[in-house]
A and B are shown apart, each in its own frame.
Chain A
Amino acid sequence: MKRSLQVVTVTVAAVSSFGFSIGGSSAASVAVAADPSAKVEYTGTLSVLTKFGLQQLSPYFVNVAQQYEKLHPGVKVELIQESDDSVKGKTKTLVASNSLPDVYFSWTGSWGGNFVRGNRAVDLSAVIGPDTEWGKTLSPAAVKAFQYNGKFYGIPLYQDAKFVGYNKQIFGKLGLKAPASFEELLTSCDAIRKSGATPISFGNKEAWPAIHFAGQLLAYNVPQATLERDFDPTTAEYTDPGYVAALKQFSQLVERCTDGAGVNGTSYASALQAFTNGQSAMYYQEIIEFDQAATSDSALKPADFGFFRLPVPAGAKGDLKSIEGAPEGYMISAASKNIPLAIDFMKFVTSKENAQILSAPPYGQPSATIGGASEKNMSAAVVDGLKDINAASYLMPWLDTANPPRVAAVWLSSLQALAGGSMTPEQVMGEVRKAASAAR
C-alpha cells in the first residue's frame, strides 16, 4: 500500500510538471468570404482580442464597446485586452485550441499571412475592398497592407512607424541639430555623452527593440526586392552584403549612443521613462508612443519633443526614403458564428468619430480612417510624423512579423547577442541563414 502510495506521489509530482502539456489542433475550416448583403443580427456575444492592454490605451476599446452595447442592447462585447508582448502568445494559444475570438488583432506581413493560409480569417474583399463603401473611408495603403493573394483580410485601425524622438532642450544646450546622416548621429551621441546625459535610451530586455533599429538599417542597406525575397521562406537567402553592413552600423550605434552591453538588462518601458524624465536625449520610438513620451505632466514637455527618421548611413544601397513601420489592425475569425455583427462592430470602431478619439491624446494612435487623423485632434508631432509616413517610398515591415516565426526567433536572440557584444554581425547573419534554410 505504502509502495503504491509512493508511486502515486511520484507520478503526481511529475504529472504536475505537465502543466506544460500541449494539446493538438484539428484542421482549419474552409475559406470564408464576407457577404455584404448579410443581415446583421444584433444579438449575442462578440469576443474581441485587442492589443490595447496597456493602462493608457485600454479605455479606448472599453468605451467603444460600451457605446456599441448602448446602441444595440442585445449585444454583449467581451474584450480580451493584451499588451504588445502578451498578444503574441495569447493569439497562438487561441489558434492552437481553435478558440480564436470573433475579432482579433493582427500585424501585417507573415503574421497576418498565417491566418489567411490557415483559413482562419474572413475574406473581407466584398466589404472593405477599395471600391466598397467602407473601404473608401479607410486609407487605401493601409487596407492594401492586409492584402494577401489579391484579397483583403484586415481592417486597419492605425498607422505605425518608427522615429527617433529627441529632447530639443538637450540638443539646444549642446548646439546640436537633428542629424542629417547616420555618421552625424554618432558624432552627436559623443557630444551628448560628454555632457553627462545618455544619448539614446535603449531598453532591449524584450529583444524586439533591437529588431526595430536593425530593421530600419536593413531597409537602408538592402534593396527592397532582396528584402522581400528573403522574407519569403521559399526564396530566402540572406546573402546580400547590406545585411552585415547594417548590423555593423547597429553595433556602432549601440556602442556610441547607448549604454552598450547594459541595454539587454533594461526594459523598453524603462528606456521610455528615462527619455520622458529628461535623462536621455533620444529614444527610438513608434509614432503611437509620441503622446506617451511627452506630456504636460512629464519632465519632457510636448513643446520640447522633436523627432526625425533614423538618419541614412553613407554609402547605403537600399531604399533611402523607406521607413520602418506598418499599419496594425484586426481580422475576423472564419469560425465566428456572427460574422455580419463582427463586421458591423468594426465599422463602428473605425467610424470617423471613434477614429478621431483614437488619434487624439491620450491615445495618439494615428487612425487609418480618412479624416480620423487630422491636425485638429492630434498633437503636432503625430501630425508631422504621419505626413512623413505618407511620404515614405517603402514601409519596411517589422522584422519579427515579416519573417517566419523560426527565423524571427533567431533574429531576436542574435541581435540581443550582437548588442551584448557576444556575437559579430557575420555570426548573426550565419545564424539567420541557418534558420532560414531550416524553415524552408
Chain B
Amino acid sequence: MARTSDTIESGAVVHGAARSQRPRSLRVRFGNLLSFRWAAAALILIGWFVYYPIVDNFIVSTTDQDIYTGEVTNVGLANYDRLLHDPVVLLALWNNCLYAIISVVFQVFGAFLLAAIIEDLRSERWRRLWRAVYFVPSAISITVTGLLFYFIYQPQIGLLDAVLSRAGLSQFVMPWLGNEHTAIYAIIAMSQWQGFGYSTLLFAIAIQKIPRDLYDAATIDGAGPLRRLWSITFPLTREMTGLMIIVTITGAFQVFNEVMVMTAGGPNNSSQVLGTWLYQKAFIEDNFGYGAAIAAVIFVLTMLTGAAQLWYTKRRRVQL
C-alpha cells in the first residue's frame, strides 16, 4: 500500500529521493576518487613502463635516427611504406605465421590430446611420471636447448643426419640449419619439443577440474573414450584451449630467442622472423626508425589476434 502511495506521489518521491541521494552520490564519487589514489602509483608505473613505450615506439617509427649523432629526421609514414616493399618482412611474417600454425597444431591440439590420454591413465603414479617426462624440456633454458639442437642438426657430427644415414634415408641428410629451405622448420621443431610439455601440463590441470561424475555418467550411457573426449573434455576445456591459442599465437609473433640462438635469421635471411628482423634493422644496421615500424606491426598483429581469439572463445564458452 505504501508502495502505491509512493507511486501516486511519484513526482515528489522521485524529486525527494534525488535530493536525498545527491550528497551520497558525491560521497561515493569522492570515495572513488580516494580509492583511485591508492591505484595511482600502479597506474603511473604501468603508464610509464608499458604504455608510454608503445606511444614512443609509434613516434620513433615515423623518424629516421642516427644513433651516433643523435640526429632525428621526421619521415612520416615512409618507414611503413618501405616495410610494405621489403621482401624480408613478408618472408619474416610468413615464418611467424608458420610458427603460429605449427605451434597451434602441436602445442594446443597435440598437447590437449596428450593431456587427455595421460589423465585417462588409471594409475596416478604413471600420470605423474608422464607429466614430468613431458614437462622437463620446458625447464631447460632456450640457450641450452638451442645449443643442444645445433649439435643434433650439425651436418658433420649431428645426431639427426647420423640416424638418417643409418636408417638408409641418406637422401634426407642435409645441413638442417644451413639450408635456406629447412632452417625455419628446424627451429620450429625445436620450439615444439620445448613448449609441448608445458602446454600438456596446463591442459592436464584443466582436465583435472572436470567433475568425474560427468565421465561416469557418460560411460554408463555407453560413451566410449573418443566420445567422452569430444563431448565432455573438449567443450569443458574450451576456455583453456582458447587461452592456449592466444598465448601460442602471440608467442609465435614474439619469437626471437629461438631464432637468434639457432641461426640469427640466416642463412640469407631465410629464417628471419619479425622479431629478429627488427633486431637486425635496429641494432645491426642502425635503422631504429624502421625497427620501430616493425615493432608496431608486431604489436598490432598480436593485439588483433588476441582480440579475435577472446571474442571467439567468449561466444563458445561452456560453463558448468
Contact = CB atoms under 8 A, between A and B. Distances in A.
Given A10-B306, A17-B250, A17-B254, A264 B70 contact: no
Interface string B299-310: 110110011001
B280 interface: yes
Contacts, number: 188
B155 A26 contact: no
B69 A118 contact: yes
A205 B288 contact: no
Contact of B253 (A17, A92, A416, A417): A17
A436 to B, nearest CB: 13
Interface stretch (B9-17, B52-60, B134-142): B52-60
A263 interface: yes
Contact of B310 (A6, A264, A274, A409): A6
Contacts of B153: 265
Interface string A7-39: 001111111111111111111100000000000
A277 B269 CA distance: 31
A12 B59 CA distance: 20
A72 interface: no
A311 to B, nearest CB: 25
Given A10-B310, A207-B266, A17 B68 contact: no
B53 A266 contact: no
A261 B175 contact: yes
A34 to B, nearest CB: 20
Contacts of A6: 310, 314
A93 B283 contact: yes
Contacts of A266: 154-156, 175, 178
Contacts of A259: 155-156, 175
A119 B66 CA distance: 12
Given A22-B60, A24-B56, A118 B70 contact: yes
A21 B295 contact: yes
A292 B275 CA distance: 35
B196 interface: no
Nearest to B262: A205
B314 A95 contact: no
Contacts of A118: 66-70
Interface in B267-311: 267-269, 275, 278-280, 282-288, 291-292, 294-295, 298-300, 302-303, 306-307, 310
A206 interface: yes
A26 to B, nearest CB: 5
Contact of A117 (B68, B174, B267, B287): B68
Interface string B135-160: 00000000000000010011110000
A333 B310 CA distance: 50
Contacts of B51: 15
A92 B65 CA distance: 13
B282 A406 contact: no
Interface residues on A, range: 35 or more
B256 to A, nearest CB: 8
B239 interface: no
A259 B156 CA distance: 9
A205 B175 CA distance: 11
Contacts of A54: none
B310 A15 contact: no
Given A405-B285, A420-B180, A422-B180, A17 B299 contact: yes
A95 B68 CA distance: 7
B250 A14 contact: yes
Interface string B34-72: 000000000000000011011011011001011111111
B65 A24 contact: yes
Contacts of A146: none
Interface in B60-89: 60, 63, 65-72
B267 A420 contact: yes
Contacts of A12: 50
Contacts of B292: 21-22
A416 to B, nearest CB: 4
A117 B56 CA distance: 26
A216 interface: no
B246 interface: yes
A270 interface: yes
Interface in A249-296: 259, 261-267, 270, 274
A262 B175 contact: yes
B191 interface: no
Interface in B153-176: 153-156, 174-176
17 contacts: A9-B310, A16-B250, A18-B50, A18-B54, A21-B54, A24-B56, A24-B63, A24-B72, A28-B70, A89-B283, A205-B178, A205-B264, A262-B156, A265-B153, A406-B286, A417-B268, A423-B268
Given A18-B299, A88-B284, 13 more contacts: A10-B307, A13-B306, A21-B56, A22-B60, A118-B68, A118-B69, A264-B178, A267-B150, A274-B156, A406-B286, A414-B268, A417-B267, A420-B179
Rank and list the top 8 A-B pairs by shortest CB-CB distance, nearest first.
Answer: A265-B178, A118-B68, A265-B175, A264-B178, A27-B70, A14-B303, A417-B268, A10-B306
